[in-house]
Structure 1
Amino acid sequence: MTSEPGPTHDRVYRSPAGIAGGCLLLALGAWLGIDAVIGGDGRTPWLALAGLLLAVPLVVAFTLRPAVYAGEDRLRIRNPFRNITLPWAAVSGFRSGYSNEVLDRAGTKYQLWSVPVSLRARKKAQRNLARAAAADDPGRPSIIGTGSIQTRSTRAATDQVMDELRDLSEARGAEPTAQGEPAVRWAYEIIAPAVAGAVLLVVLLAIG
């Protein structure tokens, strides 16, 4: 999980694994697609173009696009097909289970795609915590997950991100500049080309 200052001093949270995977998929798709367009016969080049028009936006949507921007006044979430803006006053809480989510005052939940839950990382953090507890007092049984022992430095990276967002929400929620209602916008720049590619692919397959 990466976090770096954004252009407006927002903290930006993205998934390095998702970005790396997306780049690899795009490179593979470009290689196969260009090869089919150049060397294919008959309808093959057109099918390849339609497939690329469908696949590229979807790969970008689920790998390169997701990001969370945490600013002084609001939380901006860029998910695969939606852009969500939540002033801190509109945030009621954060929830972590099999996915990380933020809830607004109306109870609507929004998934944080760029802050994925890693059960493996959580288990690793718990093992490190157990070893640290045993090293501090070898004669005492390890205590895992208690507030007296567990600190943020021993938590999984994405859980630490959720702690940071929760703290920022609590600290900034009462500020006059952090007031407002949630705003949601569909990412038509992703949806439109994907739909066009799907329609073109269906038409080409239908006409045989």
Structure 2
Amino acid sequence: MTTPEPQSPSPQPSEPVSKDRVYRSPAGIAGGVLLLALALWLGIDALVTGEGSTRWKALAMLVFLVPLIAAYTVRPAVFANEDRLRVRNPFRVIVLPWGQVAAFRSSYSNEVLVPSGDKYQLWSVPVSLRGRKKAARQEDRRAAGGGSRGGLLSGMGTSQFGPGGRRATATEGADRPVRAQGDRIMDELRDLQEARKDAAASQGEVTVRWAYEIVVPAVVGAVALAVLLGVG
């Protein structure tokens, strides 16, 4: 009689990782695409029609400018899920588990603070004073009973999270004040951080990585351009 071999426990399926919510600046992306198109058009034209050192200068200028334009316009983004916040700024990528986020601060720029006292700017979530004034006017109209337009805008201007990090209901959304787009995003990040800061999956260390794919080409282009301009 044979003894059945012990069955190895079947691996438990790993918990699905929540999808990132991505926050970017549509105006920054649109402006960056236009600037990149202009730089490429002028640079390629100089490469094709230029003579002598003009072509090399045009090439060095492209290597210098294209990464910088992309870094400040198209690249910035903020990614948030239930475990961590990832901030992609022009020259750095900062990963902050929610347990390491001390606070969010909004003044002339939006920033995230960590317990050590360091702060990191959220480049893709700019502060718009014009947007705040517009939201304040809409809130005043709603408070004064300005009709359905104010109510519709107030529903659009609320955080998608209610107290405790749960998703806000339509009624709770209607009760919240109208906020500018950047302020709404900061409200969402605060709600998510408050709900997830004590979770086991939200602990860890803050990591900062330099964007060498941006820094290296820009430095090489700048050095090459300086040399070419120096020698004439």
TM-score by length of 2: 0.79
User: Aligned partner of 2:222: which letter?
Assistant: A
For the 8 Å contact 1:37–1:48, the answer to whether it is kept is yes
Tell me the amino acid that sits aligned with residue 227 of structure 2: V
Q: Is residue 2:222 matched to residue 1:198?
A: yes
1:81 to partner: Cα distance: 0.2
Equivalent in the alignment of 1:71: 81
Q: How far apart in 2 are the matches of 1:199 and 1:121?
A: 40
Structure 2 vs 1, CA of residues 152 and 189 (structure 1 numbering), >3 Å: closer, same or farther?
farther
CA distance in 2, matches of 1:45, 1:190: 23
Provide closer, same or farther for how the CA distance between residues 132 and 58 of structure 1 changes in structure 2, counting only shifts above 3 A.
same
Partner residue, 1:60: 70
2:18–2:82 contact (8 Å) kept in structure 1: no
SS at match of 2:102: strand
Where does structure 1 lack aligned partners over 5 or more consecutive residues?
1-6, 137-149
Q: Offset of 1:135 from its aligned partner?
A: 2.4
Partner of 2:185: 161
Alpha-carbon deviation of 1:132?
1.6
Other-structure match for 2:207: 183
**Partners of 2:102 and 2:126 in 1: CA distance:** 20
Match of 2:19, SS?
Answer: coil
Question: Using a 3 Å threshold, how does the CA distance of structure 1 residues 152 and 109 change in structure 2: closer, same or farther?
Answer: farther
Any idea what the Cα deviations from partners look like across 1:19-62, whole Å, max 9, x if unmatched? Answer: 11111011111110010000012211111100000000000100
Please state which structure has a larger fraction of its residues in strand: 1
Asked whether 1:171 is paired with 2:195, we answer yes
Residue 155 of structure 1 aligns with an amino acid whose one-letter code is R
Q: Does 1:24 align with 2:34?
A: yes
User: 1:152, 1:160 within 8 Å by CA — same for their partners in 2?
Assistant: no
What is the letter of the counterpart of residue 168 of structure 1?
Answer: L
**1:104-137 superposed Cα distances (whole Å, 9 cap, x missing partner):** 111110000000000000000001111222226x
DSSP 3-state at the match of 2:59: helix
Instruction: Report the CA distance shift for 1:207/1:56 in structure 2 as closer, same or farther (over 3 A).
Output: same
The residue aligned with 1:12 is: 22
Partner of 1:147: none
Q: One-letter code of the match for 2:96?
A: L
Matches within 5 A, 1:80-95: 80-95=90-105
Q: Does 1:134 align with 2:141?
A: no
| Aligned position for 2:6 | none
Deviation at 1:153, TM superposition (A): 5.4
For 2:203, give the aligned amino acid: Q
RMSD: 1.7
SS in 2 for 1:80: coil
Unaligned residue ranges in structure 2 (runs of 5+) = 1-16, 147-173
Change (3 A) 1:95 1:151: farther
Q: TM-score, normalised by structure 1?
A: 0.88
| Contact map agreement 2:97 2:203 (CA 8 A) in 1 | yes
Q: How far apart, CA to CA, are the structure 2 residues paired with 1:36 and 1:119?
A: 40
Larger Rg computed on CA atoms = 2
Which runs of structure 1 show a deviation greater than 3 angstroms over 4 or more consecutive aligned residues? 150-153
* Aligned residue pairs, count: 190
